[in-house]
Structure 1
Amino acid sequence: MSVDVIIEDKRWQAAGLEGLAETAVGATFAELGVPDACDVSLMGCNDTRIADLNADFRGKPVPTNVLSWPSEERGADRDGGQPRPPRDPELGDIAIAFETCQREAAEAGRTMAAHCTHLIVHGTLHLLGYDHERDADATLMEGLETQILGKLGIADPYRIT
């Protein structure tokens, strides 16, 4: 497994993005039995950059926490079904925005590390074909996120306290 981390915003260095990425992607791969030959690229950027990407790719010119671009379509054919396994070992790209992640972590009473780990797991699952547009798909994806994070000692991010 390799995670190619590109840091555009230096605050991500202090936040330990490279280590968080290795942990999150590694745990996701281990949970799902993804071959070690697979790769992920992750860009740590700021809200301005991710807003531009969100506008270009989704038509939404606002910041978001994380975006992902799978290298191939892997989504399940039926709601709640398992995605297709990757053929391309380069799974795709993820971008994560510093200010939005920091704000969301504070609002949720979570550490920045825990929240970013969750978002990287979330983005990696998207690269592997998981989604949350349909109800059963969302249930499957959120369950996997909770399971993976739990094994890392991170509380369920969907649990309302």
Structure 2
Amino acid sequence: MTALLDLDVAVEAGNWSDSEQEAITGAVKAALLAAAEDGALWDEEDEKSLLDQVGLIEISVTLSDDASVRELNRDYRGKDAPTNVLSFAALESDEDASDFAMAPDMPLMLGDIVIARETCEREALEQNKPLLHHLIHLSVHGTLHLVGYDHMVDDEAEHMEQLERHILAGMGIDDPYAPIEDQDVETGQ
């Protein structure tokens, strides 16, 4: 991927450190590179990823809190509860990539990612992992959603999780899907 990345990371609410913001930025970049290599947003006509055809990619990451994410989750997904990360993709699939037409100097706007601080802290504690590693994982996960990956069916979920593992391993982060030490694999407790 040779495109420049215009990444806007904004703190809306919560206590987000500079090092967390930098790590999230690195995670988004790593996810985009891996997704391009994996053929995300594949354009059949040009036989390459849309990510390799543009000069500039735009993504917005909002670092927020449970209250804001709960409202977004309710309004856009019909789930009245906070969640760890939400992604709002501008393009939904490879079909959108093949049909996507833009001027050569126009940026490719991939979408928005919103991360909830309290949910991430709680999950990291429950999963006995460093908060920073969890935030990086969720940033990778959210970015992959922006470029068309999903986990609604088993095959797609397996592929997305494998790509996440690959990206995170490259960043020195353990498998986020491995069972937690001393946790029963069947019950999750």
Superposition TM-score, scaled by structure 1 size:
0.88
Aligned to 1:5: 9
Superposition TM-score, scaled by structure 2 size:
0.75
Mapped pair 1:42 → 2:45: no
Provide the rounded CA distance (Å) in 2 between the counterparts of 1:61 and 1:52.
Answer: 7
In structure 1, list runs of 5 or more residues that go unmatched: 77-82
Aligned to 1:80: none
| Structure whose CA Rg is larger | 2
Mapped pair 1:129 → 2:148: yes
Alignment of 1:1-161 (within 5 A): 1-12=5-16, 14=17, 16-33=19-36, 34-35=51-52, 37-74=56-93, 84=97, 87=100, 89-160=108-179, 161=181
% identical equivalent positions:
40
Deviations 1:54-86 (A, max 9, x none): 00001111010000000122167xxxxxx9579
CA RMSD, Structure 1 to Structure 2 (Å): 2.0
In structure 2, list runs of 5 or more residues that go unmatched: 37-50, 101-106, 182-189
Aligned to 2:48: none
Provide the rounded CA distance (Å) in 1 between the counterparts of 2:136 and 2:97.
Answer: 24
When residues 30 and 21 of structure 1 are mapped into structure 2, their CA distance, relative to the original with a 3 A threshold, is same
Provide the rounded CA distance (Å) in 1 between the counterparts of 2:25 and 2:165.
Answer: 18
Moved over 4 A (4+): 83-88
Aligned length: 154
Deviations 1:21-61 (A, max 9, x none): 21101111221234462121000010011000000001111
When residues 58 and 43 of structure 1 are mapped into structure 2, their CA distance, relative to the original with a 3 A threshold, is same
Is contact 1:17-1:44 (8 Å) kept?
no
Q: CA deviation at 1:15?
A: 6.1
